[in-house]
Amino acid sequence: MNADATGRNAWTVPNLLSGLRLALVPILLILAWRGERRLFLVCLAVAFLSDLLDGVLARLLDQRSELGAKLDQGADVAVFLSLPIAFWWLWPEVVRSERGFIALALAGYAVPAALALRKFGRLASYHTWIGKTATATLSVGTLLLVMGWAHWPFRAGILLIVLACVEEFAISLVLSEPRSNVASFWHAQRPAKSSRRSA
């Protein structure tokens, strides 16, 4: 059953994956500071993989919960904020060449986050379809970028992130109360119960 419905177990597989991602943040920063590029990339790949799997497993195992949505969002924010610092230590030339796109992503995240904080007193955790696609694209693109293989997947991921942030901003505008796991702007205009089933 859904963990929200029972209230019995916070130690679900998706929550543990989000917790792992959160625990990897200081490790990523330490590895970056020490110049350990290979170990950093391994840990970063694990963090990205956990982000892709936690939502899928939450649905497959019927372990979606409000706590899980907040853990996932918190871990995403922590990883996202740590990466520019880590990349500057490890690949400063990459940060310089992509600074425009990085600034665009930061602004894209900041605007809907500010609206959600102002309106609901907390960060949004919508996990929209566009947002999930953008995260997967950016994760792969980031790894390809720092390995020197290609720039365009990273830039495509940034543009998708901006599109997802525009949708999140619109969702926050139409909602009258905070909700988690809203699949799209269209779902945001439906009753909360049906939206949770579809997310």
pLDDT in tens, 49-91: 998 898 888 888 888 888 888 888 889 889 988 999 999 999 9
Structural contact between residues 63 and 14, judged by C-beta atoms closer than 8 angstroms: yes
User: DSSP E strands: which ranges in 10-96?
Assistant: none
**pLDDT, tens only, 140-154:** 999 999 999 999 999
Provide the sign of the torsion angle of the four alpha carbons 101, 103, 104, 109, taken in this order.
positive
Instruction: Tell me the average pLDDT across 1-5.
Output: 43
Ramachandran assignment for 58, one of left (phi > 0), alpha (psi -120 to 50 degrees), beta (any other): alpha
Structural contact between residues 182 and 190, judged by C-beta atoms closer than 8 angstroms: no
165 is written with which tokens? Answer: 């942030």
pLDDT over 70 at 177, yes or no: yes
Residue 5: predicted pLDDT: 42
Average pLDDT, the chain: 88
In this prediction, residue 1 has a pLDDT band, given cuts at 50, 70 and 90, of: very low
Residue 27: predicted pLDDT: 97
Residue 70: predicted pLDDT: 84
